[in-house]
Every structure is written in C-alpha cells, then in structure tokens.
Amino acid sequence: MTGVTALGDAAVAFLASAGLCLAAGRVVVPLLMRAQCVAPLRYKDCPPLLSYQQAKPKTPTMGGVFLLGAGVVAAAAAGGLSHRDGWLVLGAITGLGLVGWCDDWLKFRGPNARGLRSRPKLLVALAIGFILGVVGRSGPNSYSAIEVPWLHRAVELGWGWIPFAMFVVAGCAHAVNLTDGMDGLAAGCVAIALATLGVFAMDGDARVRVMVPWCAALAGACVAFLWFNSYPAAVFMGDVGALGLGG
C-alpha cells in the first residue's frame, strides 16, 4: 500500500464517518433531550468547573452512542476488520462502551440515582485489558515488545505485555472519561490523538496498518461530534462514548 493510497483511504473513512455521525446526531440528540438523559453534575471538588457545569443543567449525555456507532460502521466498511487486530479494537470499544452505557443508564433511574462505582468500572476495564493482552500475546504474530521511537529500539516485555495492556486499556479509558463534561474537550483531544496515531500507523506492517481505518473513522466521528458538542454543547458523549473511545 503506497502512502498516497493509504492517505486517500483514510480520508474516505474520515469523511464517511463524519457524515454518518452528523446524520445520526440530528436524530439522536433530540431523542436524548426528550428522554431527559441529562448529564450529571461533576467536578464537585473544583468549584470553578462545577459552577460552569451548573449553568448547563439540561444538556443531555450518552451522545457516544451515535459517535461510536458511526465510527465502527465506517471503520468496518474501510477494512478495519480485515486483520485479527482490528477485531481486538472492536472488542475493546464494544466492551468498554457497554460498561459506560450501563453506568449512564443507571444514573437516569431517578433524580438521586448513581451509576456504577469507580472500583467495579476500573476492575472491568482491567479485565478487558487482560483479555486483550492474552489474545494479543497468543498466536504466531503475538505482541511481546513495545517500540520506543526516540530510542529507535524495541523493549521486550515477554509475558509482561499482559499487565502492560491492562494498564494502557484501563488508563486510556478513564483518562478520556475524565475529560468528558466540558464543551468540545474530550472529542477534540481524542480526534487529535487518533489522527496522530493514524499517521504513524501508515508506515507500519499489515497488523499496524489495520489501525489506520479505525483511527481515521473514529477521528472523523469525533470531529463531526464537535458540531453538537462545541460551545455551547447540545450533548455530551457520556461514559458510553468516553470509555468506548478510550478503549
């Protein structure tokens, strides 16, 4: 695959995902508003941010449902499931997205309802990372090393790859989750990160290049989501989107 072809395919995936996200959002956002899926108050330990969010008491959440949906459909259509590692990406998005969906849904049972506790969410994320680490460590083309770009060398981890995968999956998922709730913050940061990773993946081997459609499609969905999420936000992605994207 030449660089021009890879870039062109990535651009198609990006634009297709963005279009799907925009179209779906016009339908889903009004439904979330009518269902009163309102974002709960956060940042109680940071008064400036809390007062900012209190000014937005009727902003719905769970927008990650159509964001992830658009990204997954576009990535799959662009060949994101042509390699085993693409299915691992889908598994991480689906597993963590379902955890986030349960968390969001539990918060809407009543005015004082609470979602999943922090510890169960962390344990489930670690478990998903463990499963992905074991699968990635198995087979003829298993993962056991990480490349350090500035050192131009690979560090062999062996079976240490599994706890490393657990740490990365759980850490990234909760890092994105912490940024959701501010207008455009989570979607903007993730779009930049995915676009950067996608560019690096273009120079890799077959199992690395399968990440290109995923990065392009999810980045496109995030950019389109900013249409609804930039200031003043009409919707937040919620835990379903934040945990799913972080995975």
> What are the tens digits of pLDDT across the range 56-72?
556 777 888 899 999 99
For 214, residues 6+ apart whose C-beta sits below 8 A from its C-beta are 71, 75, 80, 86, 89
pTM for this one?
Answer: 0.82
Query: For the chain, give me the number of helices (H) and strands (E)?
Result: 10, 2
Taking residues 113-124, report their average pLDDT.
78
Average the pLDDT over each of 37-46, 167-176, 190-199 and give the range with the smallest value: 37-46
Q: Are 155 and 146 in contact (CB under 8 A)?
A: yes
pLDDT tops 70 at residue 3: no
Q: In angstroms, how far is CA 210 from the centroid of its own chain?
A: 17
Q: Using 50, 70 and 90 to split pLDDT, how confident is the model at 37?
A: low
> Residue 68's pLDDT is what?
92
Residues 219-228 have pLDDT tens digits of 999 999 988 8
